[in-house]
Chain A
Amino acid sequence: MGSADSRLTIAGRELAGLRAEKTILLAIAIQLFIAAFSSFLVVGLVSMYDPGALDGAEIEVAAAGDAVTDLERAASEVGGASVTRYEDAGAARLAFERNAADAVVIATRDDGGGGSGGIDVHITAPDATVETTVIVVQLRDLLRTYELNERAQRAEFLSESPLPLPERTGSSPYFTFTYTVLIPVLVFLPVFISGSLVVDSITEEIDRGTLELLRVAPVTLGEIVDGKALAAVAIAPGQALLWLLLLKANGTPVANVPAILALMTALTTLVVALAVAISALAPDRRAAQLLYSIGVLVLFGGATAMAGGPANAVARLAIDSADATTTALVIAYVAIAAVAYVGVRQLVAENGFEG
C-alpha cells in the first residue's frame, strides 16, 4: 500500500532527525537525572519531615510535674524516648541547659489529680538544630501514647470508646512514594516530550517552508501528520519500558507492565493529537509551545486531581492493586485517544495548516 509506505517514510525521516541530533540521549539523560535526584530528594524530605521513619533514634527527656509517673509508663511502651524524672521544673530545665536532656516535659494535672481532669504538658525543645525535628517527632509519638492511656482511664466519661489500634509495624515511606509519585512521573515524562516534539516538528516545517516542499511530493497532508505522529508515539513506550525494567532490576517490582504501556501510549496519542491541533491553530513556534505547555498542564492537572486520573491509574496498576475499574479506565483512555486523534487528523487534512 503506497500510502502506508509514505507514512512510514515520513516517520523514519523524523526518527533519523532525532538520531542525528542525538537528542534522544539527552532526553534519557534528563530522565535518569530526575530518577537519581528524586531518590536523593525523598531521602532528604522524609528525613526532615518524618525522621522517626529513618531509624529508631532515642531521645532523652527531662520530666517533672505531678503527672510524670504516667508519662514514664507511656515511655516504657513506646521506645524511642526515655524519660528521667526530676524534682521540679527548675531541675529539669537545668538538665536541658547542661545538655543532659534533649527536651523538657512538664506534666501537671489540672484539678488536683482526681483522675477526671485534664493534663497540661509543656514542652521545651531546642531550637534550630538538626535534631529538633527528630526530637519533636519522638515526643509526639510519646505524647500520643500518653494520651491513649489517659483516655482509656477516662473511658467511663466517653459515650463511644475509640477503636483499639493494631500493632505497630515497620514500613518504609519510600514504598508508597515510589509507586504513587516516582513511577507515574517517569512514565508520563516521555508523553510530554513526544507532544512537544510534534509541535516543534510541524512548526519548524512551516517556518522553514519545507512543509510546502513535502506537499509537492505525492503524499497527502493527513499522511504527513500520520507519519509525524507515528514517530512521536513510537518513541514513548520504549522509554517508559526502560524505566520500568530499571526499577525492576533495582528491586522494585512493577506489575501490569503491558497495561501501563497501553495507558501511556494512549495518553501519548492524546497529547500528540493536542499538539497537532495546536500547531494547526498557531503556526508560530512560540505561541504553539506556550499553548501546548498550558494545555498539557491543564489537561494533566485536571485529570490528576479527579478521581481515577491517569497518575493514580498507573500507580494502582504498578502496585498491583488494579481492579475492573482500572481496566475500564485504560480502555476508556485508549478510546478517547483514538477518537481525539482521528478527529484532529480529519480536521487538519481538510483545512490544512494555517500560516
Chain B
Amino acid sequence: MIDRLRRVLRVARWETARAGGGVDRRTLLAALALLSVAGVVLGGGLAAGVVGLDVDRDVYRVGVDPGSPYADAIEAEPSLTPISADHATLGETADLVVLDTDRSGVDREVAVIASDTRKGEAAAAEFRAAVEAYNERLMATEENTTAAFPVTVSLRYASRTSPLDDGATLGGGDGDGGAGGSTDGSDDDGDTGDESGEGGDADSTGAGVGTGDSAGQEDSGLAVPSIGGGAFGAGTVGTPGAIAPPFPFASLLLAFAFLVPMNFLIQAYGSSILDERTNRRGEPLLVTPLSPAEIVAGKTLPYVAVAVLVTAVIAAAVGGGVLSVVAVLPIAATFLAATFVGAMFARSFKELTFVTVGVSVFLTTYAFVPAIFTNVTPVALVSPLTLVVFDLQGEAVSLGEALFSTTPMALGAALLYGLGIGVYREEDLFTQKPVARKFLDALAVRLSAVEPGSLGAIASRDRLRPLASVAFLTACTIPFVFVAELLAVAVLFALPVTVSIPVLLVVIAFIEELAKSIHLYAGFERGVFARTDRVAVAVGLASGAGFFLAEKATAVVQAVGLTELYVGRAAFGSVAGVEGLPVGVLLALLFAPLLLHGIATTVAAVGASRGRTRYAIALALAALIHAAYNFAVVSVHG
C-alpha cells in the first residue's frame, strides 16, 4: 500500500515538472500581464463609473420633447435612447412616444403611445421604471425628507411555528431611521430557535440594501454573508423602493466564482492526458511496472491539489469556510473525470476542445441551476454548489444534507474514472478509433466472458460471476441515467404539458433501455459474449435485475435522505398511500418493475446479439414496451 502511494507520488512529481515545462515562465508572465492589465482597466473603470456591464444599452428608442423633464429620466436610463419627438415615427424610428402635456405644475399628466409590438410593451415598462427611478433621485435631494419619503418600512421575517412574543418593537413607533435597526437587532435573538429562522435573518440583511446600481450590489454582496443584522443601513432609510425580495443573489454570484477556475484547470489536464497519447509519448510509462490506475492517479493528483488550493483561496477571499471547499471538491473531481474520459476518447486536440467545452457547459449548468433554488426546495441539494450558497449565507448544514449533496457527484466521478482507466492500454491509447468504438471498448473491458456452455448449471458460483458483472455494470449506469433524465425534464420544460409528458415518458424509457443494454451490445461486438439466444436472454435478465436492484437501492437512499431533509414536516406521501393495501398487491407493485426491466432488456439483448441494425430495432421496441408500461402506471396513478 505504502509502495503504491510512493509510486503514485513519483508520477505526480514527474507530471508537475512536465506541466511546468509546458507552460513556461514566459507564458505565465504574459498571462499574468494580460490579466493584470484587464484587472486594472476594469477596476479603474468601475471605480470611475465609466464601465458598466450595460448589455441593454440603448435598445429602446423613445420619442420625447427635449425640453421635457422626461427627457432627463430617459437620459439617465441606459437602455433607453431619447429621440426628438419631432423626428420620431412610431414603429420606425421610435418604439415609444411620450406625450407630456405640460401645464406647468400640479396638473401635469403624461401619456405614452407604444408601438403595438412586444418591443413597444417592453419599452413602455422600461420607461415607467426609468420615471420611478428619476422620482426617487429627485426626492432624495429634497430637504424635507419626511415629505419626500413619508413612509418608512422595516421588514422582518418570522416563522409561523415560533411564537411571536418578541413583537414589542412592532407596535411602537420610534424614530425615523432607527426603527429598522432596532427591530432587526431583536430579530436575531428571537428567531434562533428553529433552523429555518436562520435563513430569514440572512435574508433580511439583503432586504435593506438592494438599491440597484452595480457598485452597491457588489459591496453588499461581500458584506451579506458575514455580517448579520443591520438592515437599512445608515445611508438608506428604509423606503418602500429599497425592499429587495429574499433571494441569495450575492451568494449565488460568489458561488459561481468557484466554478470559473475549473475551466482553465480541465484545459491543462485534458492537454496533458492527450499529450501522452500523441506520438506514443505515454509508452515508456506503460512498460514500467506501474499499473494504469497508478499512472492515472499520479497524473491527476497535481490537478486535484491545484483545485483544492484554488478553491481554498477563493473560499478565504469570499468568506466561505471548510464546507465550501469540501462541497466544491466533488465538482472539481467530476470536471476532471469527465475531461479524462474525453481525452481518452478524443482523436485530436480539436476534438478534445469540443469535449472540454461540452464538459464545462454541462457541468456548470448542472452545478449552478439547482443552486438557484437554494432557499426554495430541498431538491436544490442535488448540486453541491447549494452547500456553498448555504455556507456563504452562514447557515448550518447537517451531515446528512452534506452527504446527500456530495456523494452522488463523487460517485459519478469515480465511475467515469473507472470507465476511462479501462481503455488506458496500448491498443486504445495510441490508436485513432472513433469515439463510439472506444466507448464500447471501455465497457467491454469490464465484462467477463459468457459462453453458452457455461450456463448449464446455474447454481455454480463461478458461472454466476460473469452475469454478476453484467448486473453490476448496469447498476453503475444509474447516476448517469438520473442525470440524463433530469436533463430531459429541463429541456422539455418549455413545451406545453400535453406534449411534454408523453414525450418525457418515451425519452425516459429510451434512456433507461439504452443504459441497460449498451454494454450488452459492447459485449457481443467485442466477442466477450457468445452470440446465442440463450446467452442473450441470460445477460438481458441479469442486466434488468441489476438495474432494478440499483434503482430500488437509490430509491431507499433518496427516501432516507429526503425524509431527513423534511424533518418535522409532512411524512412522505408515497409511504402514506400504500399503507392500506394488502401484502399481495404490495409485492406485485414491488416486482412489476423487475418483470418489466427483465423483459424489455431481454428483447434489447437478443437484438444486440444480432448486430448493429437489429440492436437499434430491438432497442426501439424495448423502449416502446417500457414507455407503454410507464403510461399504464401514470394513468393508474393519475
Contact = CB atoms under 8 A, between A and B. Distances in A.
B316 to A, nearest CB: 23
Interface in A1-36: 17-18, 21, 23, 26-27, 29-30, 33-34, 36
Contacts of B56: 176, 180, 312, 315
Interface in B1-58: 19, 22-24, 26-27, 30-31, 34-35, 37-38, 41-42, 45, 51-58
Contacts of A304: 53, 55
B147 A168 contact: no
A220 interface: no
A23 B354 contact: yes
Given A41-B369, A147-B240, A169-B114, A184 B55 contact: yes
Contacts of B203: 127-128, 132
A164 B108 contact: yes
B59 interface: yes
Interface stretch (A137-145, A264-272, A340-348): A137-145
Nearest to A136: B245
A108 B144 contact: no
B264 A201 contact: no
Given A287-B27, A305-B45, A321-B95, A312 B106 contact: no
B355 A127 contact: no
Interface stretch (B267-275, B454-462, B553-561, B576-584): B267-275
Interface residues of B, number: 132
A21 B347 contact: yes
A93 B122 contact: no
A26 B183 contact: no
A97 interface: yes
B220 interface: no
A163 B73 contact: yes
A6 B299 CA distance: 41
Given A121-B153, A197-B350, A290-B27, A128 B196 contact: yes
Nearest to B352: A200
Question: A interface, by DSSP: helix, strand, loop or mixed?
Answer: helix
B361 A132 contact: no
B431 interface: no
B148 interface: yes
B81 interface: yes
A166 B373 contact: no
B127 interface: yes
B267 A289 contact: yes
Nearest to B72: A163
A73 to B, nearest CB: 13
Given A40-B490, A290-B31, A294-B31, A120 B264 contact: no
A128 B353 contact: no
Interface string B235-264: 000011101111101000000000000011
Nearest to B143: A159
Nearest to A154: B147
A40 B493 contact: yes
Interface stretch (A43-51, A54-62, A241-249, A331-339): A43-51
Given A163-B135, A286-B267, A176 B59 contact: yes
Interface stretch (A79-87, A211-219, A295-303): A295-303
A24 B494 CA distance: 26
Interface stretch (B158-166, B222-230, B587-595, B600-608): B158-166
Contacts of A312: 54-58
Nearest to B158: A124
Contact of A293 (B54, B173, B267): B267
Interface in B473-497: 490-491, 493-494
Interface in A93-150: 93, 96-97, 99, 104, 106, 108-110, 116-128, 130, 132-133, 136-137, 139-140, 143-144, 146-147, 150
Given A21-B351, A290-B264, A45 B372 contact: yes
A140 B210 CA distance: 13
B128 interface: yes
Contact of B153 (A143, A158, A166, A167): A143
B187 to A, nearest CB: 10
Given A164-B110, A305-B53, A126 B151 contact: no
B311 interface: no
The winner among B35, B38, B349, B365 for most chain A CB atoms within 10 A is B349
7 contacts: A118-B151, A122-B153, A128-B200, A164-B108, A196-B357, A287-B23, A319-B119
Given A109-B173, A132-B246, A315-B59, 6 more contacts: A49-B247, A117-B146, A127-B197, A155-B106, A160-B138, A184-B55
